[in-house]
């Protein structure tokens, strides 16, 4: 029981991290029609910056804030230097161009920080566990992640739904030319949206750094999962991204935790031992396949021009 | 009384709050050239979409030669003999005019799971294709890349492709859009010739062409049929004049 | 315009001559590294040629094509480790499994468009990767060594030069096959669907079945390349199918020039030789390659083929009609 609650919370936590990435990806795609493979690189950079700044300033919080700002700056720089030239082009061009950026960033990080990963230790105050249910303890930091990302999600919702800026974003998603014709500085809007996406990715990266990993190539693994989330949720839909992130986070975590046992009930011990690890990793892809069969545009498709 | 070739019964389509097709009903006997006119936003494009299979109606039926085709996918309708030309040029730009029409021929020449023989050197495809091009007056331009053809030639090519599928009925979506007076006159002559062998549903804004060619006219306003009948009747109908022909006088040669 | 065509044809002729004579050269100079490098190039060129079929001609941007390299390779590896080393059994199995997987993936993915298609093919390729990495019995993450290459009776694949010529012959056959395919009726449907799918449907083509068939053919051909790769490296590992490998294949196709018969080969040569040269200059060569890719996308979109023959797009119909490679 304890284990189950813990895994559920882990699932929510993973879901929230995925949401940060998926939201940025889907926003960028929805507004600028840009397929951004290098989104994972921004996630990685956020983590690396956090580890470095935290070590330099000896403060986790300060390190995190600086890392967030730095990632935002890098994101906007990338947009101005590279992404701008890709708007309006074939998606294949986006794929190739951003693929090149991935190679570049991975190698740049290796050049600056070396091939071995980094660690980001948590401040002592966060190292305790909290009693979430009678007799059930859960690490405080992971709860912080859940709460923090929920707050960011709420903030995002408020900005997109209730502010003038958000209105521009939504308008731009459904009709780019019109927004430009209205005299809004499209270039600035795009740079901002991209920066926002980068900040979200960086935030995800730095938040998970203390508990998971800070290493080269970390971005790509989770990026693909973020893609799965977007496909399931519906490309362009933030609401879809939220629902799908939770869904995928839960399926992946609970699946990995309980599927091997489930498998052992059905087949022999050896077969289960062979197949379990592979199949557990595949669960979310099978989920995606199922959604595709039933609803090819995802759960909350957005129709836009 | 011959069985109508096309029967549209109470076709209805809503997009959110907008009613694009409001219980449209229409019967077309074989050999008729029926024109659909109406102001912009009247639902003509939606109607074409429903007839070709690209838009699924919310209610109503479509029968072609007695068979209910309401749920049939786009390509199946073409196989049954319903051909369509596009209002906004939708051709294979990086191919030659001949290639374009040959593809239309190929679609109706059995299956295409043939992997070896060069299709461009297959007379079974190229002969009928050249014949169709000849028909619309593009024989000389057969080997030119479509991207390098003029707008008027694109419209001609649209017709050629529709013809190459060996149809029994043509759905022409504003074939004269963007044409000058000479080109329009040429197109009207060609359509008059085609009238003799095909049933044609013509959507057009060019009133001269419409009144010169149509056996019957249906007027669509806000998705609804407000009048349907012979050209003289339509011309005299006060509702039609008010809703549509008044503003159309200005746009006649558009 | 004629001069440009000739430049391209001269390049291709020169390259082919070089490839045919390479083993002679390496035999004389003893530079077997070069032979190994070019064997690898030939194999990846075949994979790129198969990708060009669906990407260049068919417009299907599959970011998961390397999965078939892995499937073909693992078919060889798994069979070999279970004692089945006859090529006459291994290779058909590799082709069959690749075809089956391509069929399933195609059925699921080809109903989607554009961005969805890219992401979904990527996701499925990752799934296959995890499947391979999870097969502890067959090496998992560390991979599986192949102790005996595919046996084909008198044909000894462990002999470097023999193997090289086998790869070259198969590559030439693949290029020829693709060339005939894209100019056939089937090819016309595929190219038409890339050019304007909506129009294809409207003139009466049930395009899905043709695109699926094309997808399966491409996957199968790539599976064959995978079988060759396994024999070449005497080793298979999940890394063969990691998604960045799919990216490499796309780069080869675009770099060489999409929708041209020899483009993938040129692209494979260009990319791999470039990688060799760059890694000689600096350990961090991808810092150069990355931005270089971006520049190619922005300024040399039609690849090397485009640089050599910039007028190709406005080729007159008669040129196209000859179906020039």
Pair of tokens at residue B8: 């549209």
Subunit contact B106:C189, Cβ cutoff 8 A: yes
Owner of token pair 């290639």: B99
Percent of chain B with pLDDT over 70: 95
Owner of token pair 């999962």: A225
Domains and CATH numbers, chain B: 1-81+169-254 (3.40.50.300), 91-166 (no CATH)
Of C180, C202, C316, the CB nearest to B78: C202
Subunit contact B103:C188, Cβ cutoff 8 A: yes
Separation of alpha carbons C197 and B169, rounded Å: 22
Residue A284 lies in a domain: no
DSSP 3-state of C47: helix
DSSP 3-state of B110: coil
Q: Rounded to 5 degrees, what angle do the CA atoms A214, A219, A221 make? A: 110
Specify whether the backbone of B7 is left (phi greater than 0), alpha (psi in -120 to 50) or beta.
beta
Give me the pLDDT at residue C253, please. 93
> Residue C192: which residues within 8 A CB-CB, separation 6 or more?
B92, B95, B103, C199, C200, C205
The sign one gets for the Cα dihedral C276, C280, C285, C289 is negative
> Which pLDDT band holds residue C213 (cuts at 50, 70, 90)?
very high
> Residue A46: pLDDT above 70?
yes
- Smallest CA–CA distance, residue B89 to chain C, in Å, is 10
Q: Do chains B and A touch (3 or more CB pairs under 8 A)?
A: no
Average pLDDT, rounded, for chain A? 85
| Residue among C80, C86, C94, C78 nearest C137 (CA) | C78
> Residue A174: pLDDT above 70?
no
Q: Mean pLDDT lowest for which of A10-24, A249-263, C142-156, C295-309?
A: C295-309
According to DSSP, the β-strands at B59-64 and B67-68 are antiparallel
Subunit contact C131:A85, Cβ cutoff 8 A: no
- Smallest CA–CA distance, residue C133 to chain A, in Å, is 7
Of C111, C123, C286, the CB nearest to A296: C111
Give me the pLDDT at residue C315, please. 37
Specify whether the backbone of A282 is left (phi greater than 0), alpha (psi in -120 to 50) or beta.
alpha
Q: Mean pLDDT lowest for which of A135-139, C255-259, C274-278?
A: A135-139
> Residue A263: pLDDT above 50?
yes
According to DSSP, the β-strands at B59-64 and B6-15 are antiparallel
Percent of chain B with pLDDT over 90: 61
Residue A90 lies in a domain: yes
> Which pLDDT band holds residue B247 (cuts at 50, 70, 90)?
low
Residue of B nearest to C190 (CA): B112
DSSP 3-state of A219: helix
**B84/C contact by beta carbon, under 8 A:** yes
Dump the DSSP string for A229-269.
HHHHH-TT-HHHHHHHHHHHHHHHHHHHHHHHHHHHHHS-H
How many domains is chain A built from?
Answer: 1
The sign one gets for the Cα dihedral A96, C183, B125, B129 is positive
For residue C290, list chain A residues with Cβ-Cβ distance below 8 A: 100-105, 107
According to DSSP, the β-strands at C235-236 and C144-145 are antiparallel
CA distances from A43 to A21, A147, A245, C66, C84 (A): 8, 19, 16, 25, 45
Residue of B nearest to C185 (CA): B119
According to DSSP, the β-strands at B216-221 and B33-37 are parallel
Residue A296 lies in a domain: no
Interface test with C, best of B120, B163, B171 (most C CBs within 10 A): B120
Query: What confidence tens digit (pLDDT) does each residue in C158-194 have?
Result: 888 999 999 999 999 999 999 999 999 999 999 999 9
Under 8 Å CB pairs connecting chains A and C tally to: 131
What residue segments make up the domains of chain C, in order of their start? Answer: 2-321
CB pairs under 8 A, 24+ apart, for B60-63? B60/B8, B60/B9, B60/B10, B60/B11, B60/B12, B60/B21, B60/B23, B60/B24, B61/B7, B61/B8, B61/B9, B61/B10, B61/B11, B62/B6, B62/B7, B62/B8, B62/B9, B62/B11, B63/B6, B63/B7, B63/B9
Dump the DSSP string for A278-303.
HHHHHHHHHHHHHHHHH-TT-SS---
Q: Are A50 and A67 in contact (CB under 8 A)?
A: yes
Q: For residue A17, give its domain range.
A: 2-216
Subunit contact B112:C323, Cβ cutoff 8 A: no
For residue C133, list chain A residues with Cβ-Cβ distance below 8 A: 278, 281
Subunit contact A102:C290, Cβ cutoff 8 A: yes
CA distances from C198 to B47, B85, C211 (A): 17, 12, 14
Interface test with C, best of B89, B107, B158 (most C CBs within 10 A): B107
Residue of A nearest to C107 (CA): A293
> Which pLDDT band holds residue C317 (cuts at 50, 70, 90)?
very low
Separation of alpha carbons C162 and C157, rounded Å: 6
> Which pLDDT band holds residue B180 (cuts at 50, 70, 90)?
confident
Residue A23 lies in a domain: yes
More confident of the two residues B157 and A268: B157
Dump the DSSP string for C249-295.
HHHHHHHH-TT-TTHHHHHHHHHHHHHHHHHHH-TTTHHHHHHHHHH
Q: Output Rg (C-alpha) for chain B, integer angstroms.
A: 18
For residue A82, list chain C residues with Cβ-Cβ distance below 8 A: 294
Query: What confidence tens digit (pLDDT) does each residue in A155-173 have?
Result: 888 888 888 878 877 776 6
Residues facing residue A136 across a β-bridge: A133
Segment C122-139 shows an average pLDDT of: 85
For residue C111, list chain A residues with Cβ-Cβ distance below 8 A: 292, 296
Query: What confidence tens digit (pLDDT) does each residue in C48-68 have?
Result: 999 999 999 999 999 999 999
Residue C244 exposed, middle or buried by CB count within 10 Å (0-12, 13-18, 19+): middle
Biggest CA-to-CA distance, chain B: 62
- Smallest CA–CA distance, residue B142 to chain C, in Å, is 8
- Smallest CA–CA distance, residue C55 to chain A, in Å, is 10
Pair of tokens at residue B66: 């007695």
- Assembly ipTM: 0.88
> Which pLDDT band holds residue B216 (cuts at 50, 70, 90)?
very high
Pair of tokens at residue A81: 């230097």
Chains touching B, CB cut-off 8 Å, 3+ pairs:
C
Subunit contact C114:A107, Cβ cutoff 8 A: no
- Smallest CA–CA distance, residue B46 to chain C, in Å, is 16
């Amino acid at each position: 029981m304890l284990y189950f609650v813990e895994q559920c919370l882990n699932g929510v936590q993973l879901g929230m991290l995925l949401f940060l990435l998926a939201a940025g990806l889907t926003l960028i795609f929805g507004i600028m029609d840009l397929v951004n493979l290098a989104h994972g690189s921004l996630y990685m950079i956020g983590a690396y910056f956090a580890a470095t700044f935290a070590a330099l300033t000896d403060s986790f919080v300060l390190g995190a804030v600086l890392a967030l700002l730095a990632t935002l700056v890098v994101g906007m720089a990338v947009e101005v230097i590279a992404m701008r030239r890709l708007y309006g082009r074939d998606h294949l061009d986006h794929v190739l161009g951003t693929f090149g950026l991935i190679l570049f960033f991975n190698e740049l990080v290796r050049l600056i920080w070396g091939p071995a990963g980094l660690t980001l230790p948590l401040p002592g105050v966060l190292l305790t566990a909290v009693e979430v249910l009678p007799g059930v303890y859960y690490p405080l930091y992971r709860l912080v992640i859940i709460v923090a990302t929920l707050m960011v999600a709420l903030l995002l919702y408020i900005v997109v739904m209730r502010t003038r800026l958000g209105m521009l974003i939504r308008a731009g998603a459904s009709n780019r030319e019109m927004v430009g014709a209205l005299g809004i500085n499209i270039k600035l809007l795009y740079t901002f949206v991209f920066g926002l996406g980068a900040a979200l990715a960086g935030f995800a990266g730095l938040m998970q750094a203390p508990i998971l990993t800070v290493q080269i190539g970390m971005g790509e693994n989770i990026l693909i999962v973020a893609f799965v989330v977007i496909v399931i949720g519906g490309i362009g839909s933030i609401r879809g991204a939220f629902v799908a992130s939770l869904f995928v986070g839960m399926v992946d975590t609970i699946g990995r935790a309980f599927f091997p046992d489930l498998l052992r009930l059905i087949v022999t011990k050896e077969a289960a031992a062979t197949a379990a690890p592979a199949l557990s990793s595949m669960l979310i892809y099978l989920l995606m396949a199922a959604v595709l069969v039933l609803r090819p545009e995802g759960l909350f498709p957005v129709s836009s021009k | 009384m011959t069985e109508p070739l096309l029967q549209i019964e109470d076709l209805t389509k809503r997009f959110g709050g907008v009613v694009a097709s409001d219980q449209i009903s229409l019967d077309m006997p074989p050999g008729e050239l029926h024109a659909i006119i109406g102001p912009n936003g009247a639902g003509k494009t939606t109607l074409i979409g429903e007839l070709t299979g690209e838009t699924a109606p919310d209610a109503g039926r479509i029968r072609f030669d007695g068979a209910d085709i309401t749920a049939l996918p786009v390509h199946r309708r073409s196989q049954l003999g319903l051909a369509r030309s596009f209002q906004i040029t939708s051709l294979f730009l990086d191919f030659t005019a001949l290639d374009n029409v040959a593809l239309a021929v190929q679609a109706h020449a059995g299956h295409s799971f043939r992997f070896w023989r060069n299709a461009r050197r297959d007379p079974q495809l190229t002969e009928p294709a050249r014949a169709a091009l000849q028909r619309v007056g593009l024989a000389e331009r057969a080997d030119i890349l479509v991207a390098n053809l003029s707008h008027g030639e694109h419209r001609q090519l649209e017709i050629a492709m529709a013809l190459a599928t060996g149809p029994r009925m043509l759905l022409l979506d504003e074939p004269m859009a963007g044409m000058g007076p000479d080109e329009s006159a040429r197109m009207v002559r060609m359509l008059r010739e085609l009238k003799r062998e095909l049933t044609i549903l013509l959507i057009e804004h060019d009133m001269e062409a419409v009144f010169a060619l149509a056996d019957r006219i249906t007027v669509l306003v806000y998705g609804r049929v407000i009048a349907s009948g012979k050209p003289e009747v339509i011309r005299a109908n006060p509702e039609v004049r008010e809703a549509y022909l008044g503003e159309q006088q200005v746009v006649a040669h558009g | 315009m004629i001069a440009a065509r000739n430049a391209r044809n001269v390049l291709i002729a020169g390259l082919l001559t070089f490839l045919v004579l390479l083993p002679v050269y390496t035999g004389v100079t003893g530079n077997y590294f070069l032979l190994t490098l070019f064997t690898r190039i030939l194999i990846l060129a075949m994979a790129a040629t198969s990708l060009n079929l669906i990407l260049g001609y068919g417009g299907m941007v599959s970011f998961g094509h390397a999965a078939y390299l892995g499937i073909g390779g693992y078919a060889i590896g798994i069979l070999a480790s279970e004692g089945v080393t006859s090529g006459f059994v291994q290779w058909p199995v590799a082709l069959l499994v690749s075809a089956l997987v391509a069929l399933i993936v195609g059925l699921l993915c080809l109903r989607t468009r554009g961005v969805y298609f890219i992401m979904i093919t990527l996701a499925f390729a990752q799934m296959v990767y995890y499947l391979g990495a999870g097969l502890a019995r067959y090496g998992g993450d560390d991979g599986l060594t192949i102790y005996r290459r595919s046996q084909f009776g008198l044909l000894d694949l462990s002999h470097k030069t023999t193997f090289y010529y086998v790869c070259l012959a198969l590559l030439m056959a693949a290029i020829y096959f693709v060339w005939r395919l894209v100019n056939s009726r089937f090819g016309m449907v595929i190219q038409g669907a890339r050019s304007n799918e909506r129009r294809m449907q409207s003139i009466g083509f049930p395009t899905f079945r043709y695109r699926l068939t094309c997808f399966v053919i491409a996957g199968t051909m790539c599976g064959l390349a995978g079988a060759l790769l396994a024999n070449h490296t005497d080793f298979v590992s999940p890394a063969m199918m990691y998604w960045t490998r799919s990216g490499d294949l796309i780069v080869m196709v675009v770099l060489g020039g999409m929708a041209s018969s020899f483009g993938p080969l040129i692209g494979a040569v260009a990319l791999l030789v470039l990688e060799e040269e760059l890694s000689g200059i600096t350990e961090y060569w991808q810092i150069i390659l990355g931005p270089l890719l971006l520049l190619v996308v922005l300024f040399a979109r039609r690849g090397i083929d485009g640089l050599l023959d910039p007028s190709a797009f406005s080729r007159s119909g008669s040129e196209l009609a000859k179906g020039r490679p």
